[in-house]
Amino acid sequence: MSDRDLKEETRVRYLKRALNEADHLADKLDLPREVRTIATAIFRRARQEELLPGRGVEEVVAAALYIGCKQEGVPRSPDDFARYSDYERKYLLRTAKYLESELGLDLEPFNPKPYVDRFVEQAHLSECIADEAKEIIDYCAKQGLFSGRSPTGIAAAAVYLASVNTKEKVRQKDLAEIADVTEVTIRKRYQEQEEALPDDWGSN
C-alpha cells in the first residue's frame, strides 16, 4: 500500500470514528438529524483546516454537536453534554469557543426560552406558566439582565416566578433537579427577575 493510500485509509477511518461518536452522543441527548448534520460539517471543516491536532475526536465531536444545538435552537446545556460524555463543562465550552472563533461561526448565546417548555412539562405545570415565563424572560432580556448568565438557570427561575405570580405551586428543589442547577442559582435569578419586573406586572 502506498503512502497516499495509507493516508486516505487513515482519513476515512478517522472520519468514520467521528461520525460514530457523533451518532452515539446525539442518540443519548436525543438530538435531531439537523444538529448531527451541522456537527459533521463542522468536524470536516475543522479537520480540513487542521484544527484537530492536540484534541481528541470525542472532544471535538461533543463541541461540534453543542454548536449545532446553538445554531438550531435545540435546548441542550453544557451540563447535558457533560453528563453523557467524558468531558467537563469547562472543556466543552473552551473547545466550542475555539471552533467558533477559528471557523468564523458568529453565534448568539443560547436563548433561555426553549428550555421553558421542557421544564414546565417535566414539572407538570400548565401551559399558562410557560407563556408567563417566556414573557418574563423577554422583558428581563430587554433590561440587559441576562449577560453571562446560564440559560437553564434563567429559564428555571422564570418558571418559578411565573408559578408564584399565577399561584400554581412548584418547589424550587424540584425545578433545580429538572434544570440541573442549584436551588441557590434559582433563588438568585428569581430575585433578579422579580426586582426587574414593574410593580403592576401581575395586573397586565
The residues spanned by each domain of the chain are: 3-102, 113-203
Q: What are phi and psi of 49, to 5 degrees?
A: -90, 10
The pLDDT of residue 74 is 86
Residue pair 5/11 in contact (Cβ under 8 Å)? The answer is no
The pLDDT of residue 203 is 55
Greater confidence (173 vs 75) lies with 173
Q: Which of 106, 183, 191 is nearest to 145 (CA)?
A: 191
Across residues 150-164, what is the average pLDDT?
A: 91
pTM greater than 0.75 (yes/no):
no
Query: The cell 411565573 sits on which residue?
Result: 162
Distance between CA atoms of 35 and 201, rounded to whole angstroms?
A: 37
Q: What average pLDDT is seen over the chain?
A: 85
The pLDDT of residue 124 is 94
pLDDT in tens, 15-57: 677 778 788 889 999 998 888 888 888 888 888 888 877 777 7
Query: The cell 434544570 sits on which residue?
Result: 179
Homologous superfamily of 113-203 in CATH?
Cyclin-like (1.10.472.10)
pLDDT in tens, 76-127: 888 888 888 877 888 888 999 999 999 888 766 678 888 999 999 999 999 9
> Is residue 174 pLDDT above 90, yes or no?
yes
Domains 3-102 and 113-203 share a fold: yes
Residue pair 84/28 in contact (Cβ under 8 Å)? The answer is yes
State the architecture of 3-102 in CATH terms: Orthogonal Bundle (1.10)
Where does residue 104 fall: left (phi above 0), alpha (psi -120 to 50 degrees), or beta otherwise?
left
Q: What is the separation of C-alpha 35 from the centre of its chain, rounded to a whole number of angstroms?
A: 12
The pLDDT of residue 2 is 53
The pLDDT of residue 88 is 81
